[in-house]
Structure 1
Amino acid sequence: MTKKVLFLLHGGTISQLEHQDENGHKYLIPAKDPDLFTAACAGILSRFSGDLEITTEFVTTKDSSNMVPSDWTHLALRIKKAQNEELYDGVVVTHGTDTLAYTAAALALALHGSNPNGSSLRIPVCITGSQKSIYAQATDAYHNLYYAFKTIAHACEEGIADVLVNFDKEVMLGARVIKISEMDYTAFASPNYPNIGQIKQQKLFISKSLVNTKDRFLPTSNDQVNFDDRILSIDLTPGLNPEVIEAVLETDLVKALIIRTYAAGNLPSERKNNLIPIVKLAQTKNIPVFLTSKVAAANASGAEYEPGMKALHAGAIPCFDQTEAVVSVKIAWLIGNNLCKSVADFNEAMRTNYVGELTTASQDEFEQFN
């Protein structure tokens, strides 16, 4: 049976054109005419005629480094309409690689919703992009597009209802991906969760046990698609002056503070670089402080070393094995939809696995100290 698929063009390298300025410098720019990209994709789409009825729609040509939370909201609402009103069986989205992981996380949260026991998503969504423009020599765009549609066709048949990322023959859960390379075709990875599928010898294999399926569908009238932008994320570096963070917190512009720790969720706790007072100051302002990790494969529990335990006792919130991308997006989503009212609420939410973003087992070590 032919499946009805919506193909959303959402910018990125894959659709950009080479431009030469007056000084002779060559670089990629967003194409002004989306029809050029549509024409370039025609050969790929024709290979699915008979299996997929594909409707192509332009959303934006912007570079993904210019994506903002309102873009996530707009895209999520478009996909909700495709599912609930237009009755599409699946959606494919092209996206730039710089912020693809953030958009994937945002779509997962906005489309699934806040009930961890069910989901308001009943169709598969597959995001892809490329490291080289579709117009460049030796581009990976054609392969990635082809495999994205192959993935969506398979997911439709299998009743998969999740946000997926397909890149370089690997299929990953949207809430788990991170960008690992600016140059290699293997641009994305899922370090804390198994890849959910892989394409070998033109055959696609997906483990349904690792994804959400449409039998968990729970209809809801609530659109939780908003994302707040008043979040400060700081990279922990040796010698970071706490007064800099304090000055920002005193402005009352910040609704949440994310500290990207070295690995396991430890904070400096000695002498002039002691950040524990910052955590305590934030508590007085009802500003949650989250501990995540710069390391791709990490469990930022904060419970393994004394500096981490001091941070936890001061009120910092561990993010365990959730990626930096999903942590920032999840917090923006929680605030944007008024899902948390207090620091205690945020603490509970960051230990809740809404869309597959968190390995529950990674909390075990933390729980024994909490």
Structure 2
Amino acid sequence: MTSSDVLSRRPSHDGRHIVILGTGGTIAGRAEQSTDVVGYKAGQVAVQDLIEGVLGLRRRIDAGWRIESEQVSQVDSKDMSHAIWRRLAERVQHHLDRPEVDGIIVTHGTDTLEETAYLLHRVLAPSRPVVLAAAMRPASAPQPDGPQNLDDALTVVGWPGARGVMAVLGGQVWPGAEVRKVHPYRLDAFSAGDAGPLAHVEAGQLRRLREWPVEQPLGLKVLAADIWPDVQIVTSHAGADGRLVDLLVQVGVQGLVVAATGNGSVHQDLMAALLRAQAAGVLVLRALRGGAGCIVPSSTDLLPDAGALTSAQARIEVLLRLLARRGG
């Protein structure tokens, strides 16, 4: 462990046993002036200090909860890396393998939260809850949202029967496979496309709207490679051509996601280059360029689609498929 702290007052069998893993992000950010909620530096506050700012923590400890914390990384989530992803997945799995642990919370930045959540969902698909908690305001803000989001995450992770990878922000619970950031700075910055939230946290209670997420896990072994495949995202737009795709193929790209317009449509010149890439052995997937909805497949499609995944999530899907293929 990079660091570990334990907060408890009574034996763990009297309450829930929760592990909180810190990775940085806005929830751990600080600004020089408390009124600055956009010009801050992310990943400055240690996870143990974040936990101690949660109002409901002492009440839970008095009720017999056992809370552990561990700092896995301390980064702005825009700088999330494959190495941190693998380290995080390993630490999550390590704690899931401990029978006394009831659930795990991961503090994370919002910029790449949808990518990390999707990766953990596909790789681990846990039968216990793994909840990503984040914030849109830094810890130094006059009214930070991080402490309440962490408190809500504790409610979710301790809820009887909770399972799977989820994200909790602004009193809403999002499935890890569907969550996506849809606004740059508003508190209600997240969505799950057409499906809506999985649940709401209301006055310390969970009101579930859908079934808990279930997936067949790929397993940690899929992340074992020292060097991960090169997977890039290109965008279809007016005036697009295939030069970038051809250059990426020349330098050895192994996977491509095209952020497509409309119902997965791609500019004809870009499509020609993507078909050349596919013929050369590159794994290509179409994803929606933005908004909600899902690509409806057609018998005339020349490239496979990623359904309702965002282009960032589709990149993770291509990455995992390539890793699984390499492992096989």
Q: What range is the shorter-chain TM-score in? A: 0.7 to 0.9
Residue 77 of structure 1: how far off its partner (Å): 0.7
Q: What is aligned with 1:174?
A: 176
Q: Report SS of the residue matched to 2:309.
A: coil
- Kindly indicate whether residue 191 of structure 2 is the aligned counterpart of residue 189 of structure 1: yes
Quote the RMSD (CA, aligned, Å): 2.6
Q: Report SS of the residue matched to 1:266.
A: coil
Q: What is aligned with 1:303?
A: 298
- Kindly indicate whether residue 254 of structure 2 is the aligned counterpart of residue 255 of structure 1: yes
Q: What is aligned with 1:359?
A: none
- Kindly indicate whether residue 122 of structure 2 is the aligned counterpart of residue 127 of structure 1: no
Return closer, same or farther for 1:94/1:222 CA change in 2, 3 Å cut-off: closer
Residue 59 of structure 1: how far off its partner (Å): 1.5
Query: What is the CA deviation profile of residues 23-68 of structure 1, one whole-angstrom value per residue up to 9, with x for unaligned ones?
Result: xx96325327655435434x44213122521111111221111101
Query: What is the CA deviation profile of residues 202-232 of structure 1, one whole-angstrom value per residue up to 9, with x for unaligned ones?
Result: 42112463433xxx999x9863335835011
Q: 2:283 aligns with which of 253, 268, 288?
A: 288
Q: What is aligned with 1:104?
A: 117
Q: Report SS of the residue matched to 1:137.
A: coil
Return closer, same or farther for 1:264/1:172 CA change in 2, 3 Å cut-off: same
Question: Residues of 1 paired with 2:65 and 2:312: CA distance?
Answer: 32
Return closer, same or farther for 1:221/1:245 CA change in 2, 3 Å cut-off: closer
Residue 244 of structure 1: how far off its partner (Å): 2.9
Question: Residues of 2 paired with 1:292 and 1:68: CA distance?
Answer: 22
Question: Residues of 2 paired with 1:38 and 1:67: CA distance?
Answer: 22
Residue 6 of structure 1: how far off its partner (Å): 0.2
Structure 2: segments with no counterpart, 5+ residues: 1-13
Residue 266 of structure 1: how far off its partner (Å): 0.9
Same amino acid, percent of matched pairs: 19
TM-score for the superposition, normalised by structure 1: 0.76
Question: Residues of 1 paired with 2:134 and 2:285: CA distance?
Answer: 30
Q: What is aligned with 1:140?
A: 145
Q: 2:75 aligns with which of 58, 62, 79?
A: 62
Question: Residues of 2 paired with 1:264 and 1:167: CA distance?
Answer: 29
Q: What is aligned with 2:323?
A: 336
Structure 1: segments with no counterpart, 5+ residues: 113-120, 342-370
Could you tell me which amino acid in structure 2 is paired with residue 230 of structure 1?
A: D
Q: What is aligned with 1:116?
A: none
Return closer, same or farther for 1:276/1:26 CA change in 2, 3 Å cut-off: closer
More divergent stretch after superposition (162-171 vs 238-247): 238-247
Q: What is aligned with 1:355?
A: none
Q: What is aligned with 1:346?
A: none
Q: 1:93 aligns with which of 99, 102, 106?
A: 106
2:233–2:311 Cα contact (<8 Å) kept: no
Question: Residues of 1 paired with 2:310 and 2:52: CA distance?
Answer: 36
- Kindly indicate whether residue 27 of structure 2 is the aligned counterpart of residue 14 of structure 1: yes
Return closer, same or farther for 1:329/1:289 CA change in 2, 3 Å cut-off: same
Q: 1:204 aligns with which of 206, 221, 235?
A: 206
Question: Residues of 2 paired with 1:35 and 1:6: CA distance?
Answer: 11
Query: What is the CA deviation profile of residues 141-170 of structure 1, one whole-angstrom value per residue up to 9, with x for unaligned ones?
Result: 12111111011111xx12x32001111011
Q: What number of residue pairs does the alignment pair up? A: 308
TM-score for the superposition, normalised by structure 2: 0.85
- Kindly indicate whether residue 309 of structure 2 is the aligned counterpart of residue 322 of structure 1: yes
Could you tell me which amino acid in structure 2 is paired with residue 224 of structure 1?
A: V
1:76-91 equivalences under 5 Å are: 76-85=89-98, 87-91=100-104
Return closer, same or farther for 1:302/1:239 CA change in 2, 3 Å cut-off: farther
1:166–1:172 Cα contact (<8 Å) kept: yes
2:18–2:101 Cα contact (<8 Å) kept: yes
Residue 9 of structure 1: how far off its partner (Å): 1.3
Query: What is the CA deviation profile of residues 263-304 of structure 1, one whole-angstrom value per residue up to 9, with x for unaligned ones?
Result: 2111223xxxx2332133113311122111112212223529
Q: What is aligned with 2:158?
A: 153
Question: Residues of 2 paired with 1:163 and 1:239: CA distance?
Answer: 39
Return closer, same or farther for 1:11/1:86 CA change in 2, 3 Å cut-off: farther
Question: Residues of 1 paired with 2:271 and 2:39: CA distance?
Answer: 48
1:122–1:217 Cα contact (<8 Å) kept: no
Could you tell me which amino acid in structure 2 is paired with residue 48 of structure 1?
A: R
Question: Residues of 1 paired with 2:145 and 2:66: CA distance?
Answer: 24
2:20–2:67 Cα contact (<8 Å) kept: yes
Q: 1:28 aligns with which of 41, 45, 51?
A: 41
Q: Report SS of the residue matched to 1:296.
A: coil
- Kindly indicate whether residue 53 of structure 2 is the aligned counterpart of residue 40 of structure 1: yes
Question: Residues of 2 paired with 1:2 and 1:109: CA distance?
Answer: 29
Could you tell me which amino acid in structure 2 is paired with residue 333 of structure 1?
A: L
Return closer, same or farther for 1:175/1:138 CA change in 2, 3 Å cut-off: same
Q: Report SS of the residue matched to 1:81.
A: helix
Question: Residues of 2 paired with 1:78 and 1:302: CA distance?
Answer: 38
Question: Residues of 1 paired with 2:58 and 2:20: CA distance?
Answer: 13
Q: Report SS of the residue matched to 1:198.
A: strand
